[in-house]
Structure 1
Amino acid sequence: MAKVITFGVQKGGVGKTLTSGITAFLLAQRGYKVLAVDMDSQGNLTQFISGSDDLYDFQEQTVLEAIKEGDARPYIKAMDDHLHLLPADDFLATIAQYLFREYSGNPSLALDSALSSVKDFYDYIIIDTPPALSEQTINALGASTHVVIMFETSKFCYSAIPRFLDTIEAAKSKINPDLQIAGILRTLADAKRTDSKAMIELIEEEYSELVFDTVIHRRATTGRLPVYGLWENKEANQAFSYHKKFLRELIGRVGKPEKV
């Protein structure tokens, strides 16, 4: 069964898409079978992994259709032998209307139902979520074995952490008792700013049992990845350096997938 890992917090600009995309890519580079699932109607993970800026390329072939059909298999796109993508586009914003007006099952477990047909095929399933709490986020948590809480080193994101922890606890108690917190990942840290350093230390003091040791610092080469792509990028070694350290920690915490 796949390890299903959601990256989330109800705050934009924290590096969810970049981190989830790089994580999926690096896992695939290690030889694991990986499915990246885009649960954000902005479709940025879709653009990042596919290399296509035109979401119309995926119209009516997205995670929304997979949820409606109850089966992800017809809508998965192979990027290479190991990395596959379940894309999203703007129409994913209509998911709440569908779930509460037409869906016959538990609306919080619709994604889990759609992924049930492929969980035995993949080693890891990585889910990117939108910047606000929504049915997309709740469905991601409902389908996951683990969640990585994203923490951009700022005051607003600091305030969002306890609220997201409450959301995770509610998801555990009501829809997914097996959900576990993989940890809090400190991202977009700026070594030149004292407030960023203070937030790095503060979150570690308050959540010492949860934070990853790795801190993802701002780096120009990482920021350019959406421009130059994940494959055949001459800056890749430098761009991935922090994320490779995080990946080792992540695998250590969630474990390697069990082979059926």
Structure 2
Amino acid sequence: MTKKAKVISFGIQKGGSSKTTTSGVVSYLLSQNYRVLAIDMDSQGNLTELLTQRDIYDFHGKTILEALQKRDANGYIYQVTDNLHLIGAEDHLATFSRWLYGNYRGNQALVMSDMLDTVRDKYDYIIIDTPPALGDQTMNALSASDYVVAMFEASKFCYSALGRFLESCVHVQTQVNPDLKIAGILRGLIDARRTDNKALIDLVQQEYGDLCFKTILIRNAAAGRLSINGLFDNNEMNAATRHYKLFVKELLERVGETVQA
């Protein structure tokens, strides 16, 4: 039996929650041992920029939008490295909903799932970066995923969004994709010196218990410069990815992977 990729989405309907950085770094770290396809489902194209260090308009006409419209990922995959591939995004992805309700005939929640079926057997992991909204892009990503990681930054607005995001995941589980599992909540500390940030981190732990990953992402300058310096030939990678490596180990354990030394 052919092994199929495990599909993992990262999401929360709140900007500035490290979805893109986490999706990019996790894709990069996993690609050290596995074949990985990263998918940018945000029309801002930040994951595309992070992984390629190229302008998103270089990918015009060869993005996730066209792959979804064709229901075929082949022909839209950009090779970042031998083990890390990408389907990028640019501004025109914002027209996805208009196309979906105006031109598509079929189950509108399963367009991405159908598209991924064309490449699931080519990868070990497919990582999806979702936009900061609970729209058709995010719902399609969840409907195509085996696991979802809920991102939480230590802010009141993100705390308000977290419960609604988890409810949306449960809705997808019950209505569209019964195979979807919530891998957990990844908490990020904006400023370790602020007591209100720490209090929110603790509050989420109290409310959600073991659903929270033990790893807490702590923002540092090196991680903040990843968008500028990229993930390759970057002499700050050890400092930038220290907490992410701990998270990836936890994530692999939760998705049933034997962690490689």
Which of the five TM-score ranges fits, normalised by the shorter chain?
over 0.9
The AA in structure 2 aligned to 1:149 is: A
The AA in structure 1 aligned to 2:29 is: L
Provide the rounded CA distance (Å) in 1 between the counterparts of 2:190 and 2:123. Answer: 32
Q: CA deviation at 1:188?
A: 3.8
1:89 aligns with 2:93: no
The AA in structure 1 aligned to 2:45 is: G
SS in 2 for 1:74: coil
SS in 2 for 1:148: strand
Q: Deviations over 1:124-162 (max 9, x none)?
A: 000000011110000000110000000001111111111
- Corresponding residue number in structure 2 for 1:9: 12
The AA in structure 1 aligned to 2:133 is: A
Question: How do residues 40-51 of structure 1 correspond to structure 2 at under 5 angstroms?
Answer: 40-51=42-53
- Corresponding residue number in structure 2 for 1:63: 64
1:124 aligns with 2:97: no
CA contact (8 A) 1:35 1:85 kept: yes
1:175 aligns with 2:176: yes
Q: Deviations over 1:39-79 (max 9, x none)?
A: 00000000000111x21100010000001111001100000
Q: CA deviation at 1:256?
A: 2.6
- Corresponding residue number in structure 2 for 1:156: 157
The AA in structure 2 aligned to 1:181 is: I
Q: CA deviation at 1:174?
A: 1.1
CA contact (8 A) 1:38 1:87 kept: yes
CA contact (8 A) 2:8 2:126 kept: yes
Gaps of 5+ in 1: none
Provide the rounded CA distance (Å) in 2 between the counterparts of 1:65 and 1:51. Answer: 21
For this pair of structures, how many residues does the alignment match?
A: 255
CA contact (8 A) 2:77 2:86 kept: yes
The AA in structure 2 aligned to 1:163 is: R
Q: Deviations over 1:2-39 (max 9, x none)?
A: 1100000110100000001000000002x200000000
CA contact (8 A) 2:215 2:246 kept: yes
Gaps of 5+ in 2: none
CA contact (8 A) 1:110 1:139 kept: yes
SS in 2 for 1:247: helix
- Corresponding residue number in structure 2 for 1:238: 239
TM-score, scaled to structure 1: 0.96
CA contact (8 A) 2:40 2:47 kept: yes
CA contact (8 A) 2:41 2:89 kept: yes
The AA in structure 2 aligned to 1:6 is: S
SS in 1 for 2:202: helix
- Corresponding residue number in structure 1 for 2:205: 204
C-alpha RMSD of matched pairs (Å): 0.9
CA contact (8 A) 2:189 2:198 kept: no
CA contact (8 A) 1:188 1:217 kept: yes
Q: CA deviation at 1:167?
A: 0.4
Provide the rounded CA distance (Å) in 1 between the counterparts of 2:67 and 2:132. Answer: 22
Provide the rounded CA distance (Å) in 2 between the counterparts of 1:142 and 1:80. Answer: 28
Provide the rounded CA distance (Å) in 2 between the counterparts of 1:67 and 1:55. Answer: 18
Runs of 4+ in 1 over 3 A off after TM superposition: none
The AA in structure 2 aligned to 1:39 is: M
TM-score, scaled to structure 2: 0.96
- Corresponding residue number in structure 2 for 1:185: 186
Q: Deviations over 1:96-143 (max 9, x none)?
A: 011111111211110111110111110000000001111000000011
Provide the rounded CA distance (Å) in 2 between the counterparts of 1:165 and 1:234. Answer: 37
